[in-house]
């Protein structure tokens, strides 16, 4: 009997104000990625930051940067006060009180060109709100949120942060680190920084949320852009988390394009959780999305948030999606359509290995979700070194320069569902399964390959049912076959 992935009822965030609602999410082999406790912490984080949005009826201190300074206003401010900024301020801003709002009115600028410091520093402070503000030309960091700080960012642009004079690796746009948290909503832009656009580091969290009303305070539509940075667009590492969702209206949007490294990178025991969100991670010099070092990413679209999901990971200088080092990626559709594309990348559409798992799951027997891994420079999908790939979604793996699906080294590929799977026009084998691979497929069309449509060997195990359309097949004699699989010597060199 074949092992199938099961589902379990857990708390999810459709009623985030109370933190209680039920829906199904997958319980994959590694275990569920998102838990009730995690979601309740999200609720608390949102409500904590929201409670300070309007202040507590405090005083508004107006700063005209042509004649005054934010530092003077900060020295007079008390918790609950707002500092309203106009013009362009050439100063480093240190927020040294809790429950302070910096409001740029949508046009004010903090320019760090003449300072030898990060532009905005929030260290060890809670319920700080920064909105309607542009921060540019910071030295080392544009906005620094650190040492257990809690910050709300709304309609904020951080651009052109410079490297620190002593450290070429610095130059972060927005930095959230050392057990701190940030809620991001409205339009967030982190473009053209010398380092990472947005960095979440060392047990910290960033929550991107749009179209949601906790405690009567509405969130606007959320959009995050992290393009053209000298590091990653979005970098999450050191047991940190990045969460993005929208509960109604338009999806939250995340754009991470044309960065020097990956568009989005999640590393070192960190996590990403995405629902009701459209992601575009394209034209990066590295990978579109990287998940590694015992990290996890979950994309969920379903009844809990009544949202679809789309992921576009095209035309990157590395691979579209990379999952490595005992990491996990799970995509769950729960009756709502999910669309994932990774096309035109220099290397693979999806590359996974080193004991990692990728699962595209659905409670429906006929999922309407789709995967496209086409036109990549090597394989459409590579599953190597004890990797596990499972999908209940329709799949197109076409016109890749190498193999369509390349499985190797004690790995497992399970496509045993009744939805369509088309693997055609690939330059190498349509499906290659070598060195102890288990390949289990159903309703698959494998044709037009440059070599064999299916090739297998060195102790692999393959099987497909009679409804599949498969052209040439080659096995090396050590292959164990089951169902309707057959292995004549038809290898095309």
What are 109-135's pLDDT values in tens digits? Answer: 999 988 888 899 999 999 999 999 999
Q: Structure tokens of 359?
A: 């699962």
Q: Residue 368 pLDDT more than 70?
A: yes
Residue 29: pLDDT band (50, 70, 90) is very low
DSSP character string of 304-362: TTT--EEEE--S-SS-SEEE-SS-EEEEE-TBS-EEEE--S-SS-SEEE-SS-EEEEE-
How confident is the prediction for the chain on average, in pLDDT?
Answer: 85
| Calpha distance 184→190 (Å, rounded) | 12
Q: What's the whole-model pTM score? A: 0.90
| Calpha distance 197→201 (Å, rounded) | 13
In this predicted model, what pLDDT tens digit does every residue of 258-295 receive, in sequence order? Answer: 999 999 999 999 999 888 889 999 999 999 999 999 99
Q: Structure tokens of 266?
A: 């999640």
Work out the widest C-alpha separation in the chain, in whole angstroms: 84
Q: Residue 1 pLDDT more than 70?
A: no
Residue-level pLDDT at 34: 46
Q: Residue 460 pLDDT more than 60?
A: yes
Taking residues 286-313, report their average pLDDT.
83
365 class by beta-carbon count within 10 Å (0-12 exposed, 13-18 middle, 19+ buried): exposed
In this predicted model, what pLDDT tens digit does every residue of 328-357 receive, in sequence order? Answer: 999 988 777 899 999 999 999 999 999 999
| Calpha distance 433→474 (Å, rounded) | 10
Taking residues 467-493, report their average pLDDT.
77
Residue 4: pLDDT band (50, 70, 90) is very low
The answer to whether 316 touches 345, Cβ cutoff 8 Å, is yes
Q: What is the DSSP letter of 167?
A: B
Share of the chain above pLDDT 70, in %: 82
Q: Residue 470 pLDDT more than 50?
A: yes
Q: Which has the closest alpha carbon to 157: 182, 131, 175, 176?
A: 131
Residue 42: pLDDT band (50, 70, 90) is low
Residue-level pLDDT at 47: 55
Q: Looking at per-residue confidence, does 28 or 247 come out higher?
A: 247
Q: Residue 309 pLDDT more than 90?
A: no
Residue 30: pLDDT band (50, 70, 90) is very low
- Identify the H or E element spanning 75: helix 70-76
CA 174 to each of CA 86, 146, 187, 194: distance values in angstroms, whole numbers, following the listed order: 22, 11, 14, 12
Residue-level pLDDT at 302: 54
Residue-level pLDDT at 48: 55
Taking residues 472-486, report their average pLDDT.
86
| Calpha distance 436→424 (Å, rounded) | 24
Share of the chain above pLDDT 90, in %: 66
Q: What is the DSSP letter of 179?
A: S
Q: Structure tokens of 304?
A: 């809990």
In this predicted model, what pLDDT tens digit does every residue of 400-446 receive, in sequence order? Answer: 999 999 999 999 999 878 788 999 999 999 999 999 999 998 889 99
The answer to whether 447 touches 424, Cβ cutoff 8 Å, is yes
| Calpha distance 13→335 (Å, rounded) | 17
3-state SS, 2-23, equals: CCCCEEEEEECHHHCCCCCCEE
Beta-carbon contacts of residue 31 (< 8 Å; ≥ 6 apart): none
Residue 216: pLDDT band (50, 70, 90) is low
End-to-end alpha-carbon separation of the chain, Å? 36
Per residue in 432-452, is it b (16+ CB within 10 Å) or e — as a string?
bbbbbbbbbbbbbbbeebebb
Q: Where do runs of H (alpha helix) occur along 185-306?
A: none
């Amino acid at each position: 009997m074949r092992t199938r992935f099961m589902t379990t009822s857990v708390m999810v965030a459709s009623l985030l104000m109370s933190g209680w609602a039920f829906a199904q999410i997958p319980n994959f082999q590694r275990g569920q990625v998102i838990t009730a406790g995690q979601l309740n912490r999200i609720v608390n984080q949102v409500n904590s930051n929201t409670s300070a949005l309007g202040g507590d009826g405090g005083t508004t201190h107006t700063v005209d940067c042509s004649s005054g300074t934010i530092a003077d206003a900060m020295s007079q401010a008390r918790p609950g006060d707002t500092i309203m900024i106009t013009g362009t301020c050439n100063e480093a801003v240190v927020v040294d009180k809790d429950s302070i709002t910096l409001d740029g009115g949508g046009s004010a600028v903090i320019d760090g060109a003449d300072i030898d410091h990060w532009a905005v520093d929030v260290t060890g402070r809670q319920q700080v709100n920064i909105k309607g503000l542009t921060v540019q030309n910071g030295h080392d960091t544009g906005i620094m949120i650190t040492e257990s700080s809690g910050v709300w960012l709304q309609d904020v642009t951080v651009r052109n942060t410079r490297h620190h004079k002593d450290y070429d690796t610095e130059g972060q746009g927005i930095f959230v680190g050392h057990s701190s948290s940030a809620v991001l909503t409205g339009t967030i832009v982190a473009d053209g920084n010398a380092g990472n656009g947005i960095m979440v580091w060392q047990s910290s969290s960033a929550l991107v949320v749009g179209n949601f009303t906790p405690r009567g305070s509405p969130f606007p539509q959320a959009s995050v852009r992290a393009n053209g940075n000298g590091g990653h667009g979005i970098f999450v590492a050191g047991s940190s988390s990045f969460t993005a969702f929208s509960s109604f209206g338009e999806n939250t949007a995340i754009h991470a394009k044309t960065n020097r490294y990956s568009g989005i990178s999640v590393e070192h025991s960190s996590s990403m959780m995405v629902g009701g969100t459209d992601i575009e991670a394209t034209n990066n010099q590295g990978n579109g999305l990287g998940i590694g070092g015992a990290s996890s990413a979950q994309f969920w679209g379903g009844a809990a948030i009544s949202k679809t999901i789309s992921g576009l990971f095209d035309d990157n200088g590395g691979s579209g999606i990379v999952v490595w080092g005992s990491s996990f990626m799970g995509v769950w559709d729960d009756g709502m359509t999910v669309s994932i594309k990774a096309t035109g990348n220099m290397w693979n559409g999806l590359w996974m290995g080193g004991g990692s798992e990728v699962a595209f799951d659905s409670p429906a027997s006929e999922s309407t979700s789709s995967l496209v891994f086409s036109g990549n420079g090597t394989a459409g999908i590579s599953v190597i070194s004890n990797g596990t790939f499972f999908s209940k979604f329709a799949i197109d793996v076409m016109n890749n320069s190498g193999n369509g699906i390349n499985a190797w080294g004690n790995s497992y590929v399970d496509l045993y569902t009744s939805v369509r799977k088309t693997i055609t026009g690939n330059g190498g084998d349509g499906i290659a399964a070598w060195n102890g691979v288990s390949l289990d497929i159903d309703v698959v069309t494998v044709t037009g390959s440059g070599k064999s449509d299916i090739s297998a060997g060195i102790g692999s195990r393959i099987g497909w049912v009679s409804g599949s359309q498969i052209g040439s097949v080659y096995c090396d004699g050590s292959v164990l076959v089951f169902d309707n699989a057959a292995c004549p010597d038809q290898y095309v060199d």
